[in-house]
């Protein structure tokens, strides 16, 4: 059993902020204090920064600990190779922690939410915190005007509905046509995708009338463009934000572990539905991000899930954001 998240909560809890030297924990504050740039408390965590005139807020839906990394990452590699790479990167080999980070982008005209976390299904295990995080960041769920779903795995669509009603009552929705068609199809019954199909019938299909179904290159709102990034799921899409000459890529689940998926992009991942296509997409997307030296937000990168990548001989090194957006 991994207790890392518990330790982190204790360390960074509201009490710890008072003990720290002024400025040392800047951006970490009690939710009630409604900190300007971010908060990390027992109940909510968010990080806000600007991309041009867009105000971008990454919100933690929570984290989940799992055992046996090799059963998820590098499944076509010897277990020793996975352990060696983790060890080399100062990570434990017995387990791993996955975070879930939906993103709110306030363009000034639209408040666009990317993905919705695990929702009600996650509450018992410490996730499903998106709505709390949105409030802590100074917004209300009713202020979200557009919800974009990058793909329809449960950790992305779980928060669409709350108590059988839309969790974002004023929103319209945007998602990939291919993704929706795949999961909605009754042909998924009796396949490994059956549970996903049922979840889509419950969470996504009731919202279909308010949904715009898009393809590669579509504009969501001015400055936000969809890019096809298939493989992790059949219609997985990523998004480019651009404002006043500044850009950022929302890579969603193109890479799911900041070491194992980025340093070894060709290693197979259990959650990638088309493993070869997912590997090829990882290379294409992170080659572009490395070449253009762009910041990106990866849904499963360590919170606040924002960083850069440096090209290495076999893959890419994740360079977490520090103060790049604060100056
Ligand atoms: Zn995911």
Distance of CA 251 to the CA centre of its chain: 8
Q: Mean per-residue pLDDT for 74-99?
A: 98
Cα–ligand 1 centroid distance for 118 (angstroms): 9
Q: Mean per-residue pLDDT for 115-119?
A: 98
pLDDT of residue 41: 54
Per the omega criterion (within 30 degrees of 0), is the bond before 171 cis? no
Cα–ligand 1 centroid distance for 106 (angstroms): 23
Q: What would the pLDDT profile of 53-83 be if each residue is shown by its tens digit?
A: 999 999 999 999 999 999 999 999 999 999 9
Cα–ligand 1 centroid distance for 230 (angstroms): 14
All residues at 6 or more sequence positions from 8 whose CB lies less than 8 Å from its CB, including other chains: none
Q: Which two tokens stand for residue 101?
A: 């980070």
Cα–ligand 1 centroid distance for 299 (angstroms): 7
Q: Strands (DSSP E) along 18-150, which ranges?
A: 38-40, 45-51, 54-59, 62-67, 95-100, 103-106, 111-114, 146-149
pLDDT of residue 266: 98
pLDDT of residue 265: 98
pLDDT of residue 33: 44
What does pLDDT average to over the chain? 90
Cα–ligand 1 centroid distance for 302 (angstroms): 13
Q: Mean per-residue pLDDT for 280-301?
A: 98
User: CA 14, CA 118: separation in Å to the nearest integer?
Assistant: 25
pLDDT at 20 over 90: no
pLDDT band at residue 173 under the 50/70/90 scheme: very high
Cα–ligand 1 centroid distance for 22 (angstroms): 36
pLDDT of residue 9: 38
Cα–ligand 1 centroid distance for 17 (angstroms): 31
Q: What would the pLDDT profile of 27-50 be if each residue is shown by its tens digit?
A: 333 333 444 556 555 557 999 999
Cα–ligand 1 centroid distance for 253 (angstroms): 5
DSSP H or E stretch at residue 27: none
CA-to-CA separations, 180 to 154, 200, 257, in angstroms, rounded: 13, 8, 25
pLDDT band at residue 327 under the 50/70/90 scheme: confident
User: CA 321, CA 327: separation in Å to the nearest integer?
Assistant: 13
Residues with CB under 5 A from ligand 1 (ion): 155, 253
């Amino acid at each position: 059993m991994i207790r890392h998240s518990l330790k982190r909560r204790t360390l960074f809890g509201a009490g710890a902020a008072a003990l720290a030297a002024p400025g040392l924990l800047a951006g970490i504050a009690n939710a009630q204090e409604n900190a300007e740039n971010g908060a990390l408390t027992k109940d909510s965590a968010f990080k806000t920064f600007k991309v041009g005139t867009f105000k971008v807020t990454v919100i933690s839906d929570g984290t989940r600990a799992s055992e046996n990394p090799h059963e998820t990452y590098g499944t076509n590699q010897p277990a020793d190779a996975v352990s060696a790479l983790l060890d080399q990167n100062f990570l434990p080999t017995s387990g791993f922690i996955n975070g879930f980070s939906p993103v709110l982008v306030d363009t000034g005209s639209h408040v666009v939410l990317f993905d919705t976390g695990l929702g009600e299904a996650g509450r018992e295990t410490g996730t499903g915190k998106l709505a709390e995080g949105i409030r802590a960041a100074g917004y209300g769920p009713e202020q979200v005007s557009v919800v974009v779903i990058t793909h329809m795995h449960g950790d992305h669509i779980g928060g669409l509905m709350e108590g059988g009603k839309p969790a974002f009552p004023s929103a319209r929705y945007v998602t990939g046509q291919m993704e929706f068609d795949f999961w909605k199809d009754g042909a998924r019954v009796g396949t490994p995708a059956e549970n996903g199909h049922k979840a889509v019938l419950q969470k996504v299909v009731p919202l279909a009338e308010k949904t715009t179904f898009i393809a590669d290159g579509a504009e969501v709102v001015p400055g936000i463009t969809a890019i096809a990034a298939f493989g992790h799921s059949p219609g997985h899409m990523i998004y480019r934000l651009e404002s006043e000459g500044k850009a950022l890529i929302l890579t969603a689940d193109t890479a799911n572990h900041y070491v194992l998926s980025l340093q070894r992009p060709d290693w197979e991942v259990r959650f990638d539905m088309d493993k070869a296509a997912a590997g090829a997409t990882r290379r294409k997307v992170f080659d572009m991000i490395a070449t253009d030296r762009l910041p990106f937000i990866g849904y499963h990168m360590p919170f606040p899930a924002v960083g850069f990548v440096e090209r290495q001989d076999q893959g890419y090194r994740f360079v977490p954001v520090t103060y790049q957006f604060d100056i």
